[in-house]
């Protein structure tokens, strides 16, 4: 690994020269005067004095050289829609969308909240925002009114872009009623809503506020809206993610650092070339959707395949059929999706001609060896695990085959990527652990490389406190993951150090779910714990102490209350956050000093030894959990 080792060393030791070279991968209106200003740690300011535009790099610069090549391939197996937009056509659509946004009062620096299913208009909207310097905030379509309202209040958008409905497994999922409810719940009231009417679900419009996208698009068919040259540090977008408190965190990204980071990752990690086709099965509501459905592939001049639908419908080989049809070269998905495919006929993996495919990248949650082996055998292609976070925007750990062909090891996402000065620290003493197989917290020494979060939206203090002050005496960025390193420097991720859980690759804060469940009138106390799940990696389980438990001796009554609680979470947060089960206890298992014994609950649910329980106040609740699980 000499080549990569020296590439990596240079990125840390000769940081500015390294990133000045990477900056050559993008177009600049004004070149940066300084590569990194880290005079006020932990705030890193990349490419100071430079001016550029994300949309210019993702779309416009390709129009001249490859305007008639595919840029966005949109496929919906839900509606049967299949459209390919060339770079020239994508540019036209983005400019129409930008003109519509301007006509609705959006200016540089304003926030635009995007609450859309996987439709091409979502890509137009994101690109239109960065084109004119508006800051988009995409909210995952699976989130419901309460989650949406918190995000509306935090981002205070001028405009919300939404649709009548999404569709999942052939079932229409209306969006507009959830949006209307969110806007009654939120303090902030955006002045305009732009509605994409897919003709899936009728909805009511508020005449002064709600606008029809198709009608406005018609008015702006010939719109020309130039890219606005933005200062390097101008925020490109915010994306909310869960943490240990109930309030979601608005991860804020810059303009230049993000563009350079993605361009570099497309070269060194993904080896993507113009004219190739990238298919990421994620959703635009997540960070993978931002970096590797929309921006990364387009910045590299590749076509991106955007897919609405399930991996198993109309048949379990639909992804591979798309690979054959569109000559997909790169695929990106999550282990959960592969575990879903594992239940299908394995012959479907070899039914289609997937010779165009170079590799399958997986991220978002631990990749277990049986899953990795199954898909590697079935496809006969390299399977590349990569570990990162919403906060970092691109992989922290993986293998950089674009620099040097590196072996993958099952169970390990790989080695630190260039720019990430990854360390393992003892969480008590803050001391660095350098030996093999020593377990510690995975941290990153500042400055974080380009593309990572600049701060949390509107809350510098929370940014510093949350991420940079969790290890005593050290100003380092904490990933809140446990890890170990082997003799070859490969890292293994061992789970979160905090109360964040990972369900099907989706990061959820247990506190948020607990707050929602607590709002049920018959809930006195609740704990939500992540428990191992064969399909989803983890499942959220809720443990509830009822206010009035008199009726709960009866199984039917318990089932009824469980149903009510699940419905409540569905309507407030969305089905992604719904607990897989709700168990009723007479009290929660706590220590004598009142600390909830999460690990013990988890162990009992996973049929493991709960360990030392001498500090436990009362063993009854663990017994009650065992009884209800059988
Ligand atoms: P998110 O910000 O939603 O992408 O979640 C990030 C978290 O997901 C990380 O902090 C890890 O706990 C987990 N994660 C992401 N990718 C991997 C991976 N390849 N292996 C193990 N855990 C992962």
Contact call for residues 195 and 205 (beta carbons, < 8 A): yes
pLDDT value of position 550: 86
The residue to mutate among 364, 414, 420, 532, having the most atoms of ligand 1 within 8 angstroms of its beta carbon, is 364
Q: 83 C-alpha vs ligand 1 centroid, how far in Å? A: 32
- Give the number of the atom of ligand 1 that is nearest the alpha carbon of residue 362: 19
For residue 495, the ligand 1 atom closest to its alpha carbon is 12
Q: Which of 467, 480, 479 is nearest to 43 (CA)?
A: 467
Per-residue confidence (pLDDT) for residue 619, from 0 to 100: 86
Which residue stretches of 156-222 are H helix? 176-185, 213-219
Q: Return mean pLDDT, the chain.
A: 95
* pLDDT tier for residue 477 given thresholds of 50, 70 and 90: very high
pLDDT at 50: 98
Q: What is the pLDDT confidence band of residue 280, given thresholds at 50, 70 and 90?
A: very high
Do 140 and 130 touch, CB atoms closer than 8 A?
no
Q: What is the pTM of this model?
A: 0.94
Ligand 1 centroid distance, CA of 389 (Å): 6
| 27 CA from centroid of ligand 1 (Å) | 31
Whether the per-residue pLDDT at 1 is higher than 60: the answer is no
Interatomic CA distance for residues 500 and 417, integer angstroms: 24
Read off the tokens for 484.
């170990």
Cα 244–chain centre separation: 17
> Whose CA is closest to atom 20 on ligand 1?
366
> Which residues face 545 on adjacent strands?
525
Q: What's the mean pLDDT in 317-329? A: 98
Give the model's confidence band at 505: pLDDT under 50 very low, under 70 low, under 90 confident, else very high: confident
Q: Hey, whose CA ends up nearest to atom 7 of ligand 1?
A: 389
Q: Which two tokens stand for residue 178?
A: 């959830």
Per residue in 146-188, pLDDT tens? 999 999 999 999 999 999 999 999 999 999 999 999 999 999 9
Output the residue whose Cα is nearest ligand 1's atom 6. Answer: 389
Tens of pLDDT, residues 68-115: 999 999 999 999 999 999 999 999 999 999 999 999 999 999 999 999
Confidence of residue 502 (pLDDT cuts 50, 70, 90): very high
Residue bearing the CA closest to ligand 1, atom 23: 365
């Amino acid at each position: 690994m000499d080549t990569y080792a020296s590439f990596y060393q240079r990125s840390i030791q000769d940081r500015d020269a390294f990133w000045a070279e990477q900056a050559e991968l993008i177009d600049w209106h004004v070149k940066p005067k300084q590569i990194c200003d880290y005079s006020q740690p932990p705030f890193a300011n990349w490419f100071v004095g430079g001016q550029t535009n994300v949309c210019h790099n993702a779309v416009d610069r390709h129009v001249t050289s490859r305007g008639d090549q595919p840029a966005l391939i949109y496929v919906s197996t839900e509606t049967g829609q299949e459209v390919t937009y060339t770079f020239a056509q994508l540019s036209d659509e983005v400019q129409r969308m930008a003109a519509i946004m301007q006509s609705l009062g959006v200016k540089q620096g304003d926030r635009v909240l995007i609450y859309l299913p996987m439709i091409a208009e979502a890509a137009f909207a994101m690109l239109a925002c960065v084109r004119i310097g508006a800051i988009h905030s995409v909210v995952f379509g699976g989130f419901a009114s309460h989650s949406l309202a918190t995000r509306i209040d935090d981002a205070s958008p001028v405009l919300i872009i939404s649709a009548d409905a999404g569709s999942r497994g052939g079932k229409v999922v209306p969006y507009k009623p959830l949006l209307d409810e969110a806007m009654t719940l939120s303090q902030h009231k955006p002045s305009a809503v732009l509605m994409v009417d897919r003709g899936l679900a009728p909805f009511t419009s508020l005449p002064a506020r709600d606008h029809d996208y198709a009608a406005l698009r018609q008015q702006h068919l010939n719109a020309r809206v130039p890219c606005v040259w933005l200062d390097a540090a101008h925020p490109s977008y915010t994306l909310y993610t869960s943490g240990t408190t109930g309030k979601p965190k608005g991860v804020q990204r810059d303009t230049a650092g993000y563009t350079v980071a993605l361009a570099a990752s497309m070269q060194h990690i993904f080896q993507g070339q113009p004219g190739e086709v990238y298919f990421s099965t994620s959703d635009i509501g997540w960070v993978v959707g931002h970096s590797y459905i929309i921006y990364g592939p387009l910045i590299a001049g590749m076509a991106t395949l955007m897919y609405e639908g399930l991996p198993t419908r109309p048949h379990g080989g639909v992804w591979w059929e798309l690979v054959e049809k569109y000559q997909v070269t790169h695929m990106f998905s999550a282990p959960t999706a592969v575990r879903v495919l594992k239940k299908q006929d394995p012959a479907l993996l070899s039914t289609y001609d997937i010779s165009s495919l170079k590799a399958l990248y997986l991220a978002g949650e631990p990749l277990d060896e049986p899953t990795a082996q199954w898909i590697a055998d079935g496809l006969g292609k390299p399977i590349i695990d990569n570990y990162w976070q919403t906060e970092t925007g691109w992989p922290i750990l993986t293998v950089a085959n674009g620099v040097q062909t590196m072996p993958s090891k099952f169970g390990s996402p790989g080695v630190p990527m260039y720019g990430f000065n990854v360390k393992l620290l003892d969480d008590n003493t803050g001391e660095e652990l350098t030996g093999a197989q020593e377990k510690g917290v995975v941290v990153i020494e500042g400055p974080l490389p380009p593309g990572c979060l600049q701060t949390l939206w509107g809350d510098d203090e929370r940014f510093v406190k949350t991420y940079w002050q969790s290890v005593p005496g050290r100003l380092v960025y904490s990933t809140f993951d446990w890890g170990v390193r082997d003799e070859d420097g490969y890292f293994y991720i061992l789970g979160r150090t905090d109360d964040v859980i990972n369900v099907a690759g989706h990061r959820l804060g247990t506190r948020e779910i607990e707050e929602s469940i607590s709002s049920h009138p018959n809930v006195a106390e609740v704990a939500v714990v992540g428990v191992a799940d064969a399909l989803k990696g983890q499942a959220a389980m809720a443990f509830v102490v009822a206010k009035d438990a008199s009726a709960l001796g009866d199984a039917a009554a318990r089932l009824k209350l469980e149903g009510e609680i699940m419905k409540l979470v569905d309507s407030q947060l969305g089905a992604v956050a719904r607990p897989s089960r709700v168990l009723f206890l007479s009290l929660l298992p706590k220590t004598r000093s009142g600390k909830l014994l999460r690990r013990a609950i988890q162990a009992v649910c996973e049929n493991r030894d709960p360990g030392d329980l001498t500090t436990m106040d009362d063993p009854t609740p663990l017994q009650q959990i065992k009884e209800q699980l059988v």
